Structure 1
Amino acid sequence: MRLNRRGFIGAGIATAAALQAPVVLGAGKPRVVVIGGGAGGATAARYIAKDSDGAIDVTLVEPTRSYYTCFFSNLYIGGFRELSSIAHSYGKLASEYGVNVVHDWAIGIDRDARTVSLAGGAVLPYDRLILSPGIDFVDGAVPGWDVSQQNKMPHAYKAGSQTELLKAQIESMPEGGVFAMVAPPNPFRCPPGPYERVSMVAHLLKQINPTAKILIADPKEKFSKQALFEEGWQKHYSGMIDRLGPDFGGGNVTVNPDAMTINIDGAEEKVDVCNVIPAQKAGRICEIAGITEGNWAPVDGHSMQSRLDENIYVLGDATDQGDMPKSGFSANSQAKVAAMAVRGALTGSKVFPAKYSNTCWSLIGTDDGVKVGAAYEATDEKIASVSSFVSQTGEDAALRMQTYEESIGWYAGITSDMFG
């Protein structure tokens, strides 16, 4: 359902009014349903429940009982963390904040009736809906690969069993074997993520299989923190990593999971492990809801409200919002803005101007941490970057260690902010 000009103007007036006065909903509490329990959804559910002090009924729909963070999952591959250290449960959201946590799949959204249908048969009514489903993959993005092949050539871009599988495959590589990565085109979840992963794979191989090689097929001319990663690869893993960008066929790749081969611009390479990270799009529920344009869900940066439905808010990786990268930090930051906007619309509480921030840390080698980040403000067109920072090449070891330790503290902080 698209808004015509009259509907759009009316929706804008209604939205403005909603931010100034509570919605009249009869005798019952207003109901918020949140789909997706990651950095965006879990944070939004917790903040709405906590800050409304029980005035809003909050339901969180998330199929998994243990949530594995994609951020820091590469450190498990590199041997710096246990898998259990990135696993989190939803118990505190339920017991301490009163969030109704439902472990099920959302399979349908009726925007006119304002209901969510679950795979188990339940139908959840809502007054406001928050979608934070993360990513899905674009069909056919890497010829020869689809999700039915993910156990032969893992993506490991949804953390958990895929991460565990990829590490096990790396550890089983023959001596002097080849690890290949098919890197994704922009935009995608966690811009430095594939290159931190290469660093962590190299760190692991340097210990257990030092003559192994790493081959990256990359469709992008440049990537996040490129100078920092390339400096670190030369320092820690000299001669092990070879990246082929678009000038060398990195954008013309097919794979054969059965034969374990990768074809780069007509040249076929036999590999032992292949990490395929395909092109990405908003999680499927956004398409089902009809709130996507192209691969992503456009939102108003002032509130994270869908530009196609005033009763729906979208967070994190699934959004088309402007300058913010698709990261856990971004999703957490956006969730707090959306939670405030939703609470204001439903209870009449004060809504402050939106401000956002993001930092992405990456580990290149032992105690060799780097970061990039920015502060953002909302405009009528998008979320816009207003200041930024990035680690510099040539930094001393003490500063790099400090950056890594800072990331450890951030991880503890954000997961507490998400799950309580």
Structure 2
Amino acid sequence: MTLNRRAFIGASVAAGATLSAPMVMGASHGKPRVVVVGGGAGGATAARYIAKDSKGEIDVVLIEPTRTYYTCFFSNLYIGGFRDLSSIAHSYGTLASEYGINVVHDWAIGIDRDAKTVSLAGGGSVPYDRLILSPGIDFVDGAVPGWSTLAQNKMPHAYKAGSQSELLKAQIEAMPQGGTYVMVAPPNPYRCPPGPYERISMVAHKLKAENPTAKIIIADPKEKFSKQGLFEEGWNTHYAGMIERIGPDFGGANVEVNPDEMTVNLDGEVIKADVVNVIPAMKAGRICELADITEGNWAPVSGHTMQSRVDENIHVLGDATSQGDMPKSGFSANSQAKVAAMAVRGALTGSRVFPAKFSNTCWSLIDTDDGVKVGATYEATDEKIAKVDGFISQTGEDAAMRKTTYEESVGWYEGITADMFG
């Protein structure tokens, strides 16, 4: 089935539908308040659904530092020249004007779990009855020797979309003819498992047209990666001889970079590069650590409600979570947000709560009209979010099928962004 905007939103509404009931929990500030930190696929969706479905019974505050949100999903297509930057940019105006959400553009810098307040960088704090954290990812310090966020302007990660995406694209466009682009790929788990390899495809697409003798090298610490057979088939078809992947057996897991010299050391072999795209190991957004709800690098949650396993008054969504079988993706965060919104509304207003169900699809573009996908459905168990069944594109598919898959992804993008921002 082709997934378009109407179909996506319709399915989302059905999945998140609940039956309202009178409010059963009060709050010191009047009606109950939900504070959402992070305005991406998880946070914006949760804020919108709680505000929309509670019909004014819940006060919703969304804390997000940026006024314009750039989606990480489809940002690779901007790098490849298939979209312009404005097409992945979204504002919060509709959430404020049509849904009555109090959008606060500031950084959340602390959480007092006993007082149930969120501290803001600009001063003051916001009290909550329930808190939803959807902060996305931060990077593990020292994950790639020689690299830190202080070096991100020389060796961009572009794994938080916006200015980093613009920088990486500009660097690729400035490469000398026959130059070298090196990606340092991340270890598992990380945001958007196919993302680095879609990016390789988009960089290759751009270089094939503008710099056809350029070389692409992937330093990869993983034995295998998402959609590997599909990507490798596509690279051989569209970009033969341009892309070399160096796995852990050949030095891909022992990488050091020198941003000043623009070099990459792969297990003793030094490569001089023109562009180095470092995507380090990842962890939950910093606010989860500040709230002291992480175990290791991630925040463990119950799949039934997306509640933190450390604090029942906090729900965590998307990339920041340790939840089981779901990948860290925009689709996953959006799906989890509806489960959390339903659980929160049930707790604060007594509305009916249905069993949690989830879904995810990750699309990737390899070349013009050559789209592939992988996805699954999931259910909550007491231990985790568990995979029920799945699907994946097949190697050898005809051009018509691949074009349909790409067009489906475009419809999904329109649908999910409308679902997030109204």
Q: TM-score category by the smaller chain?
A: over 0.9
- Once residues 136 and 378 of structure 2 are traced to their aligned partners in structure 1, the CA distance between those partners, rounded to angstroms, is 21
User: Aligned with 1:332: secondary structure?
Assistant: helix
- Once residues 81 and 23 of structure 2 are traced to their aligned partners in structure 1, the CA distance between those partners, rounded to angstroms, is 52
Q: Unaligned stretches of 5+ in structure 1?
A: 1-18
- Once residues 286 and 199 of structure 1 are traced to their aligned partners in structure 2, the CA distance between those partners, rounded to angstroms, is 33
Residue 241 in 1 paired to residue 243 in 2? Answer: yes
CA-to-partner distance for each residue in 1:17-43, whole Å, 9 max, x for gaps?
Answer: xx9983243671000000000000000
Distance change (3 Å), C-alpha of 1:401 and 1:54: same
**What residue identity is the alignment partner of 1:197?**
R
Q: Unaligned stretches of 5+ in structure 2?
A: 1-20
Describe how 1:386-397 pairs up with structure 2 within 5 A.
386-397=388-399
User: Aligned with 1:156: secondary structure?
Assistant: coil
TM (norm. structure 2) is: 0.94
Of 106, 112, 118, the residue aligned with 2:108 is 106
- Once residues 85 and 243 of structure 2 are traced to their aligned partners in structure 1, the CA distance between those partners, rounded to angstroms, is 25
- Once residues 124 and 288 of structure 2 are traced to their aligned partners in structure 1, the CA distance between those partners, rounded to angstroms, is 19
User: Aligned with 1:96: secondary structure?
Assistant: helix
Residue 354 in 1 paired to residue 353 in 2? Answer: no
Name the counterpart of 2:162.
160
Residue 174 in 1 paired to residue 176 in 2? Answer: yes
Describe how 1:108-187 pairs up with structure 2 within 5 A.
108-187=110-189
User: Aligned with 1:189: secondary structure?
Assistant: coil
CA-to-partner distance for each residue in 1:223-270, whole Å, 9 max, x for gaps?
Answer: 000000000000000000000000111000000000000000100000
Distance change (3 Å), C-alpha of 1:20 and 1:221: farther
User: Aligned with 2:375: secondary structure?
Assistant: strand
CA contact (8 A) 1:20 1:344 kept: no
Of 52, 72, 75, the residue aligned with 1:50 is 52
CA contact (8 A) 1:371 1:390 kept: yes
User: Aligned with 2:99: secondary structure?
Assistant: coil
Describe how 1:157-236 pairs up with structure 2 within 5 A.
157-236=159-238
Of 272, 276, 279, the residue aligned with 2:278 is 276
Name the counterpart of 1:384.
386
**What residue identity is the alignment partner of 1:211?**
T
- Once residues 57 and 206 of structure 1 are traced to their aligned partners in structure 2, the CA distance between those partners, rounded to angstroms, is 52
Q: Which has the higher contact order (CA 8 A, sep 6+)?
A: 2
CA contact (8 A) 1:21 1:345 kept: no
Of 31, 34, 45, the residue aligned with 1:29 is 31
CA contact (8 A) 2:24 2:348 kept: yes
Q: What is the Cα-based RMSD across aligned positions, in Å?
A: 1.1
TM (norm. structure 1) is: 0.95
**What residue identity is the alignment partner of 2:241?**
G
> Runs in 1 of length 4+ with deviation above 4 angstroms?
none
- Once residues 22 and 169 of structure 2 are traced to their aligned partners in structure 1, the CA distance between those partners, rounded to angstroms, is 51
Name the counterpart of 1:370.
372
Aligned identity (percent) is 81
Name the counterpart of 1:67.
69
User: Aligned with 1:374: secondary structure?
Assistant: strand
Name the counterpart of 1:9.
none
CA contact (8 A) 1:21 1:344 kept: no
CA-to-partner distance for each residue in 1:322-379, whole Å, 9 max, x for gaps?
Answer: 0000000000000000000000000000000000000000000000000000000000
**What residue identity is the alignment partner of 2:378?**
Y
Deviation of the 1:122 alpha carbon:
2.2
